[in-house]
């Protein structure tokens, strides 16, 4: 019985399992049929989309050049730079003094040689007048050296020689008898005067104030005069000293030399010396005139006044800057990387764009290339100058984009 029940139970479970399998198979078939019977919608085929690459700049320079905007376009290589004047000239004073007048102001256009300012010229003009006087003196001395002596000059020189010779002879011979008698008369007259004043003084000698009276003073003066006359007489009797004889001889030789110069005329060396004196004086006048001229400061170039560094009444001196001039001509300095340097040459055409005129294109050309490279950036400095008739519209300080045109 137990075996029969177990057998029936296994058969029941087998039937249940078969039924479950049948149900699952039926369900899968139904779902597949429904899927097969569903009407399919339109099929959208994928469309091929062509993506155009964005026109990105081709950077061919070092990082420092990239910062300046170098890029390669169809027409050439583009660089950014700043417009600067062709010439920037600091104007300095060459003489010291006070600024008396300013003839320009900031922004004024000037031509080379125009007056910019004037410095006090009082001292310079006085020195110029002194130099002119020195020139006149030198010219007069030259004329005297070249001029033949007049008869009156010769006679005066001959008289001077005769007088000097007579003095020399007297000094050697000593005093004559007549000179001795005249010399003796002076001490005798002095003795007589002393006697007279002595008698007057004796009358008031007892007075306690005798030393303060006129008679005392007169007696003293007479006594001194007597002593001087006696010394002079003794000198006459003694004769001339060696020094006096030598002085008389020197006077004689000087007079003879002067007469000989007049008779012979100026020697070649004297004429040359006089001519050299004239030339030296002429140079002095030239230098003094230069100082006067430099009190007016003139424009060294044509351009415009960018900056003033002085004012009327201010003091200035040699080397002190008074203003800065910018030339009207402009240029643009750009840095070209080493890899592109061989493609740049003097005379190469270029176009210039500035933000101030966004719709305009200015023409230019390469005017100079630096002979060396910058060791830090490995770039070479290239100068581009505007060449078109509208180049005057470009102003210093503008930001410019320069395209170097390829050949």
What confidence score (pLDDT) does residue 262 get?
A: 77
Retrieve residue 367's tokens: 């005017």
> What domains, with CATH codes, occur in the chain?
63-86+329-405 (2.40.30.170), 89-119+295-325 (2.40.50.100), 130-282 (no CATH)
Give me the pLDDT at residue 216, please: 87
pLDDT tens column, 192-203: 888 888 888 888
Question: pLDDT by residue (tens digit) across 212-255?
Answer: 888 888 888 989 998 888 888 777 777 667 787 888 889 989 98
Model pLDDT for residues 292-317, shown as the tens digit of each residue? 999 999 999 999 999 999 999 999 99
Q: How far is CA 12 from the centre of its chain?
A: 127
Q: Please give the Cα distance from 110 to 328 (Å, whole number).
A: 10
**Ramachandran sector of residue 295 (left: φ over 0; alpha: ψ -120 to 50; beta: rest):** alpha
Q: What percent of the chain has pLDDT over 70?
A: 80
pLDDT digits (tens, 9 = 90+) for 40-83: 444 334 444 333 333 333 333 333 333 344 454 545 789 999 99
- d(CA 313, CA 309) in angstroms, rounded, equals 13
Query: Are 299 and 322 contacting, i.e. CB atoms less than 8 angstroms apart?
Result: no
Q: Which residues contact 385 (CB under 8 A, 6 or more apart)?
A: 86, 329, 330, 331, 332, 364, 365, 367
pTM assigned to the model = 0.53
Q: Which string of DSSP letters, residue by residue, matches 97-159?
A: EEEEEE---TT-EE-TT-EEEEE--HHHHHHHHHHHHHHHHHHHHHHHHHSPPPHHHHHHHHH
Q: How far is C-alpha 372 from the chain's CA centre?
A: 29
- Region of 347 (left: φ > 0; alpha: ψ -120 to 50; beta: rest) is left
Q: pLDDT by residue (tens digit) across 12-34? A: 444 444 555 544 444 443 444 34
In sequence order, what DSSP letters do the residues of 24-65 get, joined into one string?
HHHHHHHHHHHHHHSPP----PPPPPP-PPP---B--S-HHH
CB 402 within 8 A of CB 332: yes
Residues with Cβ < 8 Å from 382, sequence gap 6 or more? Answer: 333, 334, 335, 336, 344, 366, 368, 369, 370
**pLDDT higher at 21 or 394:** 394
């Amino acid at each position: 019985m137990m075996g029969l029940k177990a057998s029936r139970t296994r058969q029941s479970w087998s039937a249940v399992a078969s039924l479950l399998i049948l149900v699952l198979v039926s369900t899968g078939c139904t779902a597949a049929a429904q899927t097969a019977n569903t009407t399919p919608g339109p099929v959208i085929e994928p469309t091929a989309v062509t993506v155009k690459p964005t026109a990105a700049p081709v950077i061919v320079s070092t990082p420092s050049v990239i910062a300046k905007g170098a890029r390669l376009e169809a027409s050439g290589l583009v660089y950014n730079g700043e417009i600067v004047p062709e010439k920037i000239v600091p104007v300095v004073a060459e003489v010291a003094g006070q600024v008396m007048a300013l003839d320009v102001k900031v922004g004024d256009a000037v031509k080379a040689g125009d007056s910019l300012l004037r410095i006090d010229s009082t001292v310079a003009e006085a020195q110029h007048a002194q130099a002119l006087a020195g020139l006149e003196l030198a010219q007069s001395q030259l004329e005297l050296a070249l001029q033949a002596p007049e008869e009156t000059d010769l006679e005066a020189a001959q008289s001077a020689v005769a007088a000097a010779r007579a003095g020399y002879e007297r000094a050697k011979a000593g005093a004559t008898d007549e000179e001795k008698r005249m010399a003796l008369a002076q001490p005798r007259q002095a003795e007589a005067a002393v006697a007279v004043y002595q008698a007057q003084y004796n009358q008031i000698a007892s007075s306690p104030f005798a030393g303060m009276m006129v008679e005392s003073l007169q007696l003293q003066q007479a006594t001194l005069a007597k002593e001087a006359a006696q010394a002079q007489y003794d000198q006459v009797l003694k004769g001339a000293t060696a020094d006096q004889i030598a002085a008389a001889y020197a006077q004689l030789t000087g007079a003879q030399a002067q007469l000989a110069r007049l008779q012979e005329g100026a020697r070649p060396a004297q004429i040359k010396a006089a001519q050299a004196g004239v030339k030296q004086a002429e140079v002095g006048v030239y230098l003094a005139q230069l100082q006067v001229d430099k009190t007016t400061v003139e424009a060294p170039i044509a351009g415009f006044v960018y900056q003033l560094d002085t004012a009327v009444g201010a003091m200035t001196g040699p080397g002190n800057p008074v203003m800065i001039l910018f030339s009207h001509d402009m240029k643009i300095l750009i840095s070209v990387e080493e890899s592109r340097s061989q493609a740049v040459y003097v005379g190469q055409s270029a176009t210039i764009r500035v933000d101030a005129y966004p719709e305009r294109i200015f023409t230019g050309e390469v005017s100079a290339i630096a002979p060396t490279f910058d060791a830090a950036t490995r770039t070479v400095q290239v100068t581009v100058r505007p060449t078109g008739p509208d180049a005057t519209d470009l102003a210093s300080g503008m930001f410019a984009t320069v395209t170097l045109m390829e050949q």
